[in-house]
Amino acid sequence: MSSPLKSPAPSVGLIGFGAFGRLIARHLAPHLRVLAYDPFVAQDAFGPDAVPADLATAAACPVVILATPVSGLRDVARAVAPHLRPGALVADVGSVKVVPAAILRAELPAHVAILATHPLFGPQSARDGLAGLKVAVCPVRGRRGLRAAAFLRRVLGLEVILTTPEAHDREMASVQGLTHLIAKVLVRMEPLPSRMTTRSFERILEAVEMVRHDAPEVFAAIERQNPFAPEVRRRFFALAAELEAELDADRQSPRLALAR
């Protein structure tokens, strides 16, 4: 007796096929059929993990992932909105969440569920696989997002952190904001010492390397689209200025410095 035909894998629409879109496709391809749309990518450049599709086809999938810069998210949401099916789940993967969540609520039809997500890793940190890496998940509308969170945890092995867009951005203002800010400064100070180094200095350089090649849009989103980032930046620079003033005062008063 012949074996029954195998059911085709469910489809997921992927809008955007940049570095992170390719990472998403690579890890979803073993489990789902990835239909990818990106007008800036040649048809023969999608590789084995994704099937090139037009916008309408990709946006008509049961799950649609918007892997585009936050700066262009509103235009993308407006473009996909007419093609979304009732009951579909739409997720973004941006580095900030308050702004994207508000955009998706405003621009997408009421008949779709919305999930704001932030994978707390990039192509560099995910080069050895996803197991154990963290992803922030913010259900915005509907309950389908909880099923997606279960898939991320059980199938992809990610550590899922359920949170709100506001709580996410408050923490990321320090976690990502300071990391990228310090990395930008250190890159501008190059060349840095590479022969006589300490382990702590090497760790700092490793952090710089992990974000050095991020697209400029990532840094812009982290520092400009996070409503809590300016406050963290101001505090960081104010404390740095205080420390510099203390060091200058010590240098001008050597006896006082020795007395300490």
Per-residue pLDDT of the chain (260 residues; tens, 9 = 90+): 444 555 567 999 999 999 999 999 999 999 999 999 999 999 889 999 999 999 999 999 999 999 999 999 999 999 999 999 999 999 999 999 999 999 999 999 999 999 999 999 988 889 889 999 999 999 999 999 999 999 999 999 999 999 999 999 999 999 999 999 999 999 999 999 999 999 999 999 999 998 888 889 999 999 999 999 999 999 999 999 999 999 999 777 665 555 55
User: Where is the domain boundary, 110, 131, 163?
Assistant: 163
Nearest Cα neighbor of 67 from 98, 45, 34, 42 is 34
Do 78 and 175 lie in a common domain?
Answer: no
- 1 within a domain of the structure (yes/no): no
pTM: 0.89
- N residues, the chain: 260
> Does residue 90 share a domain with residue 183?
no
83 assigned to some structural domain: yes
| Token reading at 28 | 């979803």
- Do the beta carbons of residue 34 and residue 8 sit within 8 Å? no
Domain check: are 21 and 134 in the same one? yes
| Contact between residue 105 and residue 78 where contact means Cβ atoms under 8 Å apart | no
8 Å CB contact between 240 and 91: no
**Domain identity same for 20 and 118:** yes
For residue 175, the enclosing domain spans 168-249
CATH (domain of 90): 3.40.50.720
Domain count, the chain: 2
Is 189 in the same domain as 90? no
